[in-house]
Amino acid sequence: MSASPPPPRYTERVPNGLWSNPSNPADPAPIAPDDLAAHALLRLTLAKGVGPRTTVRLLRAFGSVEAACRASPADLARLEGLGETKARRIAEALRDSAELVEPELARAVERGVRLLALGHPGYPALLAEIDPPPPLLYVRGSLDADGADQYPVAIVGSRRCTAYGIEQAERFAMQLAEAGLTIVSGGARGIDAAAHRGALRVRGRSIAVLGCGLDRCYPPEHGDLYDQLARQGAVVSELPMTTPPNAENFPARNRIISGLSLGVIVIEAGRKSGALITARQAVEDQGREVMGVPGRVDSDASLGTHDLLKQGGAHLVTSPADVLEILENAARHAHQGTHAARYADPSRPVPETPPPRAGAIEAGPREAGPREASLREAGLSDEQRSILAALAEGERTPDELAQGVGLDPGRLRALLTVLEVRGLIVRRGLRLARKPT
C-alpha cells in the first residue's frame, strides 16, 4: 500500500504571504464539534475592543456567552466602570462580530488550528490561574498531551543577543528538556529561538506563544521552526487568526508565556528588554519563580538581568540543576492542586473559571493520576531507575554499573549525564554515588 502524501507545511506559502494549510489528515478534527464553549467564545474574541479582561467580566456578569452577546447597551452600562459610551461600543462590536465567527472557524480548520476554551479539561491549569486568563487559545500542535507538559519552564531574553546568550539558552533548554521539562518561550529571534531549538534538538517538548495570529508567520524566517514545534509541542496565541504582530500585542503575550510556566529563566536581557516585562509579571502578578543567568560583566546585553539579580528580583542560576532545585516546591504545589493558593496575592482572589455555554464540556477536577514525588525524578526511564537502584546499594565505578544493569558503556554515559544534571547522582573520584535526598 502506498504511503499517503505528507501534509502541507507552514513554510509552503500562498501568494498573500499567509501560511498555507498545515493540517495533518491523520490528526483528529482540529475543533471538536461538541466544544460549544470555544465556538461561542469566538464571538467575544472577535469583537473589536473586547479584550480578555472584559470577556471574563462579561461571562461572570451574565452567566453565559449567549447572555453576554445578547446584552443591550443598557444592560452593559449597569456594570461598574463601563459607562454608557463604552457599553454602546461593546454592544455594537458584539453585534458586528457575529458574522465573523464562521469565516474564523473555517480559517482555523483549514490551518489545522484547535480552539481551546477556558473551562475545558484540556486548558492548561497553570494558565487558568492568571488574571486575566486567555478566554480562548488558538493551538497548533498539542498542549499537555498525555501529561507531557506537567513541568513547564519559560526561557526568555533579548532578540539582539550575543553568541554567549545563544549558547546558554541552548544549554539550559537542552538539559532541562532532557530532564523532562517543557520549554516555553515566545518564538522571537535570539534567545527565544535558541531555547526552542535546544529543546527540539534533544527531542524534547517546547511551546511558542506568539504575539500575532496563527495565520501569520512572524518572524518570517521561523516557518521551519514552527513546523517542528507543532510536531514536538505547540504554537499558541490568544489572538484571532489574521492578527498582525503589532507591538502592543507583546506585553499581553508575555503574561501567557509566564502563565503557562512554573518559573521563568531570564538570559541576556538588556535594560529595555521585553523579557524584563515577562519577569516582572511572573513574580508580581502570577507568583512564579524567576531566575537569572549571569552574563559577561562587561556586556550591555545582560545589564537588565544583572539589575534583576542585584535587586533580589530573581534567583541566580548557573546550571540546569539549580533550576530543578528552585522549581521543586512550585512543581509539588502545582500538581497537588495548591499552586494558586500557595502563590497568589492574598489581597486578590484567584480568577474563577467562567461558566461554559450549556452543552459544552465542563472542566472537572484534574485527575490525580500517578504523579512523581520529586521533580528531579519525574519521567525517569526504567534504565535510569535501575541505575539509581544500583547506586542506592553503594558506590560503583562506571564499569561496575555497566555490568550490574546490563548497559553498554556509551548508553550508560548518556544516562549518567542526565542523572547528574538532575542532581540525583554525584561523582566521588572514579566512583559514582546516589545523592542523598
Confirm if 158 and 188 have CB atoms less than 8 A apart: no
Of the candidates 168, 205, 193, 373, the one whose C-alpha atom is nearest the C-alpha of residue 291 is: 168
- How far apart (Å, rounded) are the C-alpha atoms in residues 135 and 116? 9
The mean pLDDT value for 172-194 works out to 95
- How far apart (Å, rounded) are the C-alpha atoms in residues 63 and 72? 15
Residues in Cβ contact with 192 at an 8 Å cutoff, skipping those fewer than 6 apart: 155, 156, 157, 159, 185, 186, 208
User: Are residues 160 and 234 both part of a single domain?
Assistant: yes
Report if residue 354 sits inside a domain.
Answer: no
Helix segments in 148-248, DSSP class H? 163-178, 191-201, 223-232
pLDDT for residue 35: 58
User: Are residues 189 and 313 both part of a single domain?
Assistant: yes
Lowest mean pLDDT among 14-28, 79-93, 406-420: 14-28
pLDDT for residue 374: 64
Per-residue confidence at 325, pLDDT binned at 50, 70, 90?
A: confident
The mean pLDDT value for 65-94 works out to 90
User: Higher model confidence: residue 158 or residue 379?
Assistant: 158
For 29-57, write each residue's pLDDT tens digit.
Answer: 334 434 566 777 899 999 998 999 999 88
User: Are residues 221 and 252 both part of a single domain?
Assistant: yes
Strands (E), 238-338: 263-267, 289-293, 315-316
Report if residue 19 sits inside a domain.
Answer: no
User: Higher model confidence: residue 143 or residue 26?
Assistant: 143
- How far apart (Å, rounded) are the C-alpha atoms in residues 5 and 8? 9
Which domain, by its residues, includes 54? 36-111
Lowest mean pLDDT among 228-237, 363-372, 377-386: 363-372
To the nearest 10 degrees (0 to 180), the angle between helices 191-201 and 163-178 is 40
Report if residue 244 sits inside a domain.
Answer: yes
Report if residue 427 sits inside a domain.
Answer: yes
- How far apart (Å, rounded) are the C-alpha atoms in residues 352 and 349? 8
The total domain count for the chain is 3
Q: Is the pLDDT of residue 7 over 50?
A: no
User: Are residues 216 and 83 both part of a single domain?
Assistant: no
Q: What is the CATH number of the domain that holds 66?
A: 1.10.150.20
User: Are residues 48 and 128 both part of a single domain?
Assistant: no
User: Are residues 76 and 140 both part of a single domain?
Assistant: no
pLDDT for residue 334: 64
Percent of the chain clearing pLDDT 70 (strictly above):
80
User: Are residues 332 and 385 both part of a single domain?
Assistant: no
Q: Is the pLDDT of residue 360 over 70?
A: no
User: Higher model confidence: residue 315 or residue 371?
Assistant: 315
- How far apart (Å, rounded) are the C-alpha atoms in residues 58 and 82? 11
Q: How far apart are the first and last CA of the chain?
A: 54
Report if residue 15 sits inside a domain.
Answer: no
Name the pTM for this structure: 0.76
Select from 111, 136, 152 the last residue of a domain: 111
User: Are residues 129 and 230 both part of a single domain?
Assistant: yes
pLDDT for residue 437: 66
> What's at 65, amino acid-wise?
V
Report if residue 125 sits inside a domain.
Answer: yes
Residues in Cβ contact with 312 at an 8 Å cutoff, skipping those fewer than 6 apart: none
User: Are residues 283 and 420 both part of a single domain?
Assistant: no
Report if residue 13 sits inside a domain.
Answer: no
For 238-287, write each residue's pLDDT tens digit.
Answer: 999 999 999 999 999 999 999 999 999 999 999 989 899 999 999 889 99
Select from 77, 111, 145 the last residue of a domain: 111
Select from 52, 77, 111 the last residue of a domain: 111
User: Are residues 269 and 297 both part of a single domain?
Assistant: yes
pLDDT for residue 150: 83
Q: What is the CATH number of the domain that holds 313?
A: 3.40.50.450
Neighbours of 431 (CB within 10 A): 15
User: Are residues 287 and 202 both part of a single domain?
Assistant: yes
Confirm if 238 and 44 have CB atoms less than 8 A apart: no
Q: Is the pLDDT of residue 91 over 70?
A: yes
Q: What is the CATH number of the domain that holds 396?
A: 1.10.10.10
- Give whichever of 19-23, 75-79, 154-158 has the largest mean pLDDT: 154-158
Report if residue 7 sits inside a domain.
Answer: no
User: Are residues 327 and 196 both part of a single domain?
Assistant: yes
Per-residue confidence at 121, pLDDT binned at 50, 70, 90?
A: confident
